[in-house]
Structure 1
Amino acid sequence: MFSRNVLFSALASMTISASAFASVEVGQPAPDFSLTGADGKTHSLADYRGQTVVLEWNNPECPFVKKHYGGNNMQKQQADAVAGGAVWLTINSGAPGKQGQLDADSANAYIASTHAKQTAYLFDPDGKAGHAYGARTTPHMYVIDGEGILRYAGGIDSIASADKEDIAEATQFVPQTLAELAAGKPVSMTKSEPYGCSVKYGG
């Protein structure tokens, strides 16, 4: 378990400044991409037009990712979103040789071991998709509506810690956004500060 002081020191060292990225703005069209998945298929955002899409940036070795998978928070959100008709795409933008970078076999083993419920696990080794979205941390979450408009970008929840015990007390932003979109309501929290490990881009 991380102490609060150690945690925020780690966050400061692992999080990349937002100014290093050109990211899409909430309320604007989400950038399209075509990425190969652990299932061997190519997945493009355009393939899912008409459906709500959740993007989750992932690094299996990051302690903040481990918090949400170890606490079954990410899997529950994935399962609930998919059951509600949304598409959930997990993206790994780790460059070859970097921490958390996976190939298809290791990604499928990770999915099986964590009982993950995403629609697809995608590889972005050159970081183009990650940079297009301004993905800075793992996790970093995005929600795109059926018209292809970005409606939420930011952290998975409201408590920036690596402690699983905090999950129950936190506001979970993706389920909240999905429920509001499904009800035809304005999204109440469109942006939040992401927290976690820096995305392990190359170069």
Structure 2
Amino acid sequence: MQASVLIVLTVFGALLIALVWMDYLLMRQQGRILLDQQELRARLGEAEAAVVGLAQGSRAQPGQAPASPPAAHSGQPAGLTLGVAAPDFRLPDLEGRLRTLADYRGQPAVLLFFNPACGFCSQLAPLLTDLPTTAPRLVVMSRGDKQTNRRLAELNHWKAEVLLEAAWDVATTYRTNATPTGYLIDSDGRIASTLAVGADGVMQLTRMLNRPARDNGDGHPDLTPEGLQAKQAVALAQAKAAGLAVTESRIKRDGLAAGRLAPNFTLPDLREKQFTLADLRGKRVLLVFSDPECGPCQTLAPSLQELQQTHATENFQVLMVSKGDPAANRKKVSEHGLTFPVLLQKNWEVSKEYAMFATPVGYLIDERGTIAKDVAVGGQAILSLVNGVKRGEPATRVEPESSDS
């Protein structure tokens, strides 16, 4: 009987190895060798391990549990494509508050998938203690119970938000099931890095913005059109060098240049009345893209109201285009006593026309409907648009300041 079982296992193992070899030959014939020698050896090893596992299971005595199945291949997960929208999530933090991706819009963030029971995560935990102030915001998505994660965060003095993900469903949507792994998410909620694997890879994400650079006026270095575009270009180049099939987006994302006609649009205000930009011809318009879930946008709002009141007699109008639901925007208007129009875009349809997907972002449009200066990113930069351009001054293109590479 045992001889028959061994013969069956031997044949099965030979078939597995033959299938792997045929897979290799087929891809080579098509000119698409996706597996290097190391990967091929790993697959052969898995086939061999499967045979050993089956043999061990077949020898188990009655009433004895069979041996555990072989572990899945531990190669690096493929991860999400650069530039795609990060999958949304809804998870509780250590205080029981439900958090979503929208809560972290407005500044770059590192999403870290973590497990307190993971040895590599234990090695990473103390390294997250003293991240520089220029590091991206850190959001830890962790398995384990609330008490364990709270003790870990307190012990290592993390300046991070810890979200609890018991089922690991969010990690699956981010195409990872390993820990520690992570992504850099840009300020408008898009994937800005390849999937980082291991402590070193995650720490590299925290250093991506950690260098002297131009500040946008809100204390967030590198959150400028050229800074974000430069980082995206580097990430794309690294992905291509690694052999990943990356399709670059053709959507313009670095803002519109001064001197061109501002794209017209019609959107509803908070009373569902349609409002058209062209109706403001003859006035200077400060067009601001905002979001009620964006922290810097909330900070900017009172200053915008002050601008509207200060320049009310100068043929000047603040116009806000916001995302989010009407109730959240009405609450913002009420809290800050805003008297200028707040219009609602459903997704990013108007932002797309103005070639910027971040918030807060602003344009100054002159009386002729022409963009007077290049896009401004961040509160201080937006306010300086009004202070820096006099009424009737012709549109000029402002070259961006150089930033360190």
Q: What is the TM-score of this pair, normalised by structure 2?
A: 0.34
Change (3 A) 1:15 1:142: farther
Aligned-partner Cα distance in 2 for 1:175–1:88? 8
Deviation of 1:177 (Å): 2.5
Q: Is 1:138 equivalent to 2:183 in the alignment?
A: no
Aligned partner of 1:67 in structure 2 is: 123
Q: Is 1:109 equivalent to 2:151 in the alignment?
A: yes
Aligned-partner Cα distance in 2 for 1:109–1:137? 22
Give CA-to-partner distance per residue, 1:146-187, whole Å, 9 cap, x none: 11110112225558xxxxxxxxxxx94213423488244224
What is the aligned residue count? Answer: 155
Unaligned 5+ residue runs, structure 2?
A: 1-69, 212-220, 243-405
Identity score, percent:
20
Equivalent of 1:50, from 80, 83, 106? 106
Deviation of 1:117 (Å): 2.0
Q: Is 1:91 equivalent to 2:110 in the alignment?
A: no
Alignment of 1:28-39 (within 5 A): 28-39=84-95
Q: Is 1:122 equivalent to 2:153 in the alignment?
A: no
Give CA-to-partner distance per residue, 1:65-111, whole Å, 9 cap, x none: 12222xx32223xx32xx3373211012x4xxxxxx22x22221221
Aligned-partner Cα distance in 1 for 2:171–2:122? 20
Q: Does the CA-based 8 Å contact 1:15-1:137 persist in structure 2? A: no
Q: What's the C-alpha RMSD, in Å, of the aligned pairs? A: 3.3
Aligned-partner Cα distance in 2 for 1:86–1:128? 24
Amino acid at match of 1:186: K
Q: Does the CA-based 8 Å contact 2:123-2:199 persist in structure 1? A: no
Q: Comparing both chains, which one has the higher relative contact order based on Cα–Cα distances under 8 Å and sequence gaps of 6 or more?
A: 1
The DSSP-based 3-state class of the residue aligned with 1:150 is: coil
Amino acid at match of 2:197: G
Amino acid at match of 1:146: S
Give CA-to-partner distance per residue, 1:106-127, whole Å, 9 cap, x none: 2212211222221x11111222
Q: Does the CA-based 8 Å contact 1:36-1:43 persist in structure 2? A: yes
Aligned partner of 2:49 in structure 1 is: none
Q: Is 1:178 equivalent to 2:209 in the alignment?
A: yes
Amino acid at match of 2:80: V
Deviation of 1:26 (Å): 1.7
Higher Cα Rg, which structure:
2
Amino acid at match of 2:158: A
Change (3 A) 1:112 1:148: same
Change (3 A) 1:59 1:157: closer
Q: What is the TM-score of this pair, normalised by structure 1?
A: 0.63
Q: Is 1:151 equivalent to 2:196 in the alignment?
A: no
